[in-house]
Amino acid sequence: MLRPVHLMFMLLPGTTVLPQHAPWAEDARLATRDRLLSIASEAVTEPPGNFHLPERVDLRPFLPPPGDQGRQHSSIAWALAYGLKSFQENLQREVGTLDSVGLRDPRNVFSPAFAYNLTRNGTDTADSLCSGSYFEEIFSILVERGCCTWDRFPYDTARWGCSRPVPDPLMPVARSHVMATPLRVSTEDITMLRYHLAINEPVAFAMGIDSAFRYGDPAADQGAPMDWRPACEQPMPGSHAMLLVGYDDADSTFLVMNSWGTTWGDGGFCRLRYGVFSCHATEAYVANDALPDLRPAAPLLVPGRKPLSGPSTKTELAMGEAVVFNDLTVGLAHLAGEARRASITVRDRTGSVKVGRLDLVEGRPVRFHQGDTLVTIAFDRTSKPSDPRNARAHLRLMAEPGAKDPILERALMQAARIRKAREMGR
C-alpha cells in the first residue's frame, strides 16, 4: 500500500508530491475565463440585516451517505447531482435518503452517472474517456435536462463506466428534476458561505489538494480526526470537487462531504478550517431547486418601449415583456411571486453575454459580463395586483464599463496557482 510513502514525504514542510498519473490530479478541470463567464456571480456581500447566523449548521439529515466515485474523474457530478440535487429534492419532500434498514435508498438519491456520462462525447480518447469535468458542463445538464434517480441509472465504478450511454426513455423522467441556474459565490467570504449553509443551500466547490488530503492526512491515518492544515502558500497540484454541508464556529471549520467512500476521512466527511478553505478553494457555487412554475414559459415579445441607457436604471416587467438596457435585452420569462423568484433571459446583438438565462431570488442581485462591462441585475419585488396575470417584477439594472468581477478573477487566479504547481512538479 502506497499511503505511508506519500505521507512520509508530505511531512516535509512546503513539499508536495504528485504521483505520476494520479487519478485525482485533475478530477475537477481548472476553470477558464470562457467557462466562468457562462455562470453569473453573486453580488451580495452580507446577509440580510435581520438574519442571525447560528453557531453551527449540519445539513446531513437530507443528504445521502458519501459515495465512491471509483477511478472515474467525476467529482463534480458527485457534488452536484448526487449531493446537491439529492439534498434539494429530499428537503422539499421532507424525506431522508436512507431506507428502513439504514441503507441508501436509490429512489431518493440522484445519479451522478446521468450528468457525468452525458458530458462524454465522441472525441474522447482511451486516455481521456472518463476524465475530469468543468462545473459549467455538469450544471448545464442539470439545468437544461435535469437528473434521474440512482435506481433508474446506477453509477458504474468501473474505470470506463462513463462510456455507458444514458437511455433515451430517461430524458422525460429527468426533466421533472431540473435545477435552477447556479450562482458563483466567493471562496473568501466566510460569512456569506455560512449564510448559504444556514438557509439550506449546500455549497459545491473545487479545491487544490495534495497527497496528504487524498490519503486522509497523517492524523486520520492513525485513527485521529482528520485535520488537514497546509500553509496558504503551499503549492497544490491536484484539483477536486466536494460539497460544503455545514459549519461549526466553535472550531472554525466547514463540514465537507466527499466522494471517496466512507473509509476516507470521518465516514466520507471531513472538517476543513475556514482559513484553509479560503486559501485553497478555487471556485464555489450555490443553486436552488427549480420550482415547477419557474420554468420559462412565456414567449418573449420584441421590446416595445424606449430603450434604457446610462449607468443604472429601474424597470418593471410582466411575463413575456422585454426591455433593452445599453444594448442588452432583458426579458421576463416567468414570475413566481409567492416564491419570491423570477426567471429572466439576457442577450445582446454581439453575443458577448454568455449567461443566457438567470433564475433570480428576490433581494439577491447577481452580476455577469457583457463584453468589458460588468452588469448587475437585482430582482427587488413583485407587484401584487388583484389580477395575478398583471403581476410585474421590479428590476434594477446597473452597468459598470471596465469593471471586474472579483469572484471570477479570484477563481482564475487560484486555477493559475494549481497550473503553476503542476509545472513545478514535472
CB 371 within 8 A of CB 46: no
Nearest to 404 by CA among 44, 43, 135: 43
* 14 has pLDDT over 70: no
DSSP 3-state of 337: helix
pLDDT tens per residue, range 392-419: 999 999 999 999 999 999 999 999 999 9
DSSP 3-state of 173: helix
CA dihedral 185, 186, 192, 194 (to 10 degrees): 90
Identify each DSSP E strand in 287-402 by its residue range. 312-318, 322-325, 328-336, 341-348, 357-361, 366-370, 373-382, 392-401
What structural domains does the chain harbor?
3-288 (3.90.70.10), 292-404 (2.60.98)
CB 336 within 8 A of CB 290: no
Which range is most confident: 80-94, 204-218, 287-301? 80-94
pLDDT of residue 301: 63
* 98 has pLDDT over 90: no
Cell numbers at 339, concatenated: 416564491
φ and ψ at residue 255, rounded to 5 degrees: -95, 125
pLDDT of residue 257: 98
CB 244 within 8 A of CB 261: no
Length of the chain equals 426
pLDDT of residue 221: 60
Cell numbers at 359, concatenated: 433564475
Burial class (CB in 10 A: 0-12, 13-18, 19+), 344: buried
- Quick one: average pLDDT of 226-250? 95
- Helix spans in 175-216 (H): 190-198, 211-214
More confident residue, 56 or 296: 56
Whole-angstrom distance, CA of residue 236 vs CA of residue 414: 10
Whole-angstrom distance, CA of residue 202 vs CA of residue 194: 10
DSSP 3-state of 238: strand
* 127 has pLDDT over 70: no
CB atoms within 10 A of CB 283: 28
Whole-angstrom distance, CA of residue 227 vs CA of residue 173: 42
Indicate the DSSP class of residue 168. Answer: T
Whole-angstrom distance, CA of residue 334 vs CA of residue 113: 31
More confident residue, 385 or 101: 385
CB 360 within 8 A of CB 344: yes
CA 315 vs. chain centroid, Å, equals: 30
Total-model pTM: 0.90
- Quick one: average pLDDT of 139-160? 93
Percent of the chain with pLDDT over 70: 85
DSSP 3-state of 356: coil
pLDDT tens per residue, range 20-67: 334 556 889 999 999 999 999 999 999 998 899 999 999 999 999 999
Q: Which of 83-92, 193-202, 329-338 has the lowest mean pLDDT?
A: 329-338
Whole-angstrom distance, CA of residue 240 vs CA of residue 229: 17
Q: Binning pLDDT at 50, 70 and 90, where does residue 219 land?
A: low
Nearest to 238 by CA among 272, 282, 271, 270: 282
Pairing of strands 238-248, 203-209: antiparallel
